[in-house]
Amino acid sequence: MGSLPKQTLPIINFCAKNLEAGSSSRLSTSKAVVRALEEYGCFIATCTNFSSDLHEAIFRASEEMFALPTHVKTLNTSDKPSHGYVGQDPLKPLCEGLGIEDATTEEGVQRFTTLLWPSGNDNFRETVLEYSKVVGGLDEEVMRMVSEVYGITNSYESLHEATSYLLRLIKYRAPVKDETRSGIVPHTDKSFMTILHQRHVKGLEIMAKNGEWIVVDPSPGAFVVMAGDPCMGWTNGRIRPSYHRVIMEHGSEVRYSLGVFTFIKDVEIRVPEELVDEDHPLQFKPFDHFKYIHFIYTEEGTRSKFQLRDYCGI
């Protein structure tokens, strides 16, 4: 008996034709997005408006940034967990990352750039802003599609106004001899949505419902769109958060990846009434995104096997 074919993630094309308001292509694309998020918590978006020049430029900018001395990179601090510099951590020895808050705004990117390069770095600043805007636009498109399919566009509008974007530049080195191969341990994201992009070295794996790890092959035009815990809360449990990890091979090249993470500021995330009925009783109380993130790091949060349910489940 032959073995079952390996699973792959759904690939969804975000070309202009599939985005056209009111078209049948948009409707079928939107349904495919929701189906993928309900089934896998993620999918691969291929973007025809993402140039290979921007792909090259953003990873060169990332490489340039990681080449700065550690005492400069550690200037990137934040009062929010995992938003600032992460690295030199014995629990995650392979991984180093820096976060750029409000990365879709001139001010956010400017603040980060002058922190690391006091005399400026126009190329870095412009490249990061352009990249964040393209990926932020993809997030918005995905969220609009989800809200159209579920009939909750009003609810999305209030979240949209309150959305901020964190861009994390991430780097992993290969493990030496007996060292762990784990770049990031299996987890679900605490962001509302995450959009990941890899350079040419693979490492990202997503768990399918049957427990199989699906390896995501890097490609310059491919973005992994994934839901985090808060998105599951908003959709009353319909969308599941993606469970994923990073595994590095011995002898591998350095791996660079980029994550754009969305966060909802100042408004509570609440299940829209359209998603509550007899078959779908309300599962989550309204919650504040950043208070939820702080809960994750409390003793109760670290012990919890199902953090969102323990924080605000009904």
Ligand X SMILES: O=C(O)CCC(=O)C(=O)O
Tell me which residues touch ligand X (CB under 6 A). 168, 170, 184, 189, 196, 198, 204, 244, 246, 257, 259
Q: Which does 146 bind (CB under 5 to 8 A by kind): Fe ion, ligand X, none?
A: none
11 versus 185: smaller Cβ distance to ligand X: 185
| Mode of pairing for the β-strands spanning 222-227 and 193-198 | antiparallel
Is residue 189 at the binding interface for Fe ion, with CB under 5 A as the rule?
A: yes
Nearest by Cα to 261 from 196, 171, 203, 198? 196
Q: Is the dihedral of CA 14, 166, 218, 208 positive or negative?
A: negative
Q: Which does 26 bind (CB under 5 to 8 A by kind): ligand X, Fe ion, none?
A: none
Using CB under 5 A, which of the segments 47-55, 167-175, 182-190, 303-311 binds Fe ion? Answer: 182-190
| Residues with Cβ within 8 Å of residue 176, at least 6 apart in sequence | none
Number of residues that bind Fe ion (CB under 5 A): 1
Nearest by Cα to 130 from 164, 106, 162, 148? 106
What single letter denotes the amino acid at residue 266? D
Burial class from Cβ neighbours inside 10 Å (0-12, 13-18, 19+) for residue 302 reads exposed
DSSP label at 238?
A: S
Cβ 23 to Fe ion, closest distance in Å? 33
168 versus 270: smaller Cβ distance to ligand X: 168
Using CB under 5 A, which of the segments 4-12, 20-28, 92-100, 188-196 binds Fe ion? Answer: 188-196
Q: Which residues pair with 247 in a beta bridge?
A: 182
Cβ 97 to ligand X, closest distance in Å? 7
141 versus 189: smaller Cβ distance to ligand X: 189
Cβ 30 to ligand X, closest distance in Å? 25
Residue 296: left if φ>0, alpha if ψ -120 to 50, beta else—which one?
A: alpha
156 versus 243: smaller Cβ distance to ligand X: 243
Cβ 248 to Fe ion, closest distance in Å? 15
Using CB under 5 A, which of the segments 19-27, 78-86, 186-194, 298-306 binds Fe ion? Answer: 186-194
Cβ 55 to ligand X, closest distance in Å? 15
Using CB under 5 A, which of the segments 12-20, 132-140, 158-166, 187-195 binds Fe ion? Answer: 187-195
Cα–Cα separations (whole angstroms), residue 227 to 6, 70, 132, 258: 23, 32, 18, 16
Which residue's C-beta sits nearest to Fe ion? 189
Cβ 150 to ligand X, closest distance in Å? 25
Q: Please give the full DSSP string across 101-115, using - where no structure is assigned.
A: TTTTSHHHHHHHHHH
Cβ 36 to Fe ion, closest distance in Å? 17
- CA–CA distance, 105 with 95 (Å, rounded to integer): 27
| Residues with Cβ within 8 Å of residue 162, at least 6 apart in sequence | 264, 265, 266, 267
Which residue's C-beta sits nearest to ligand X? 257
Q: Which does 230 bind (CB under 5 to 8 A by kind): Fe ion, ligand X, none?
A: none
Is residue 229 at the binding interface for Fe ion, with CB under 5 A as the rule?
A: no
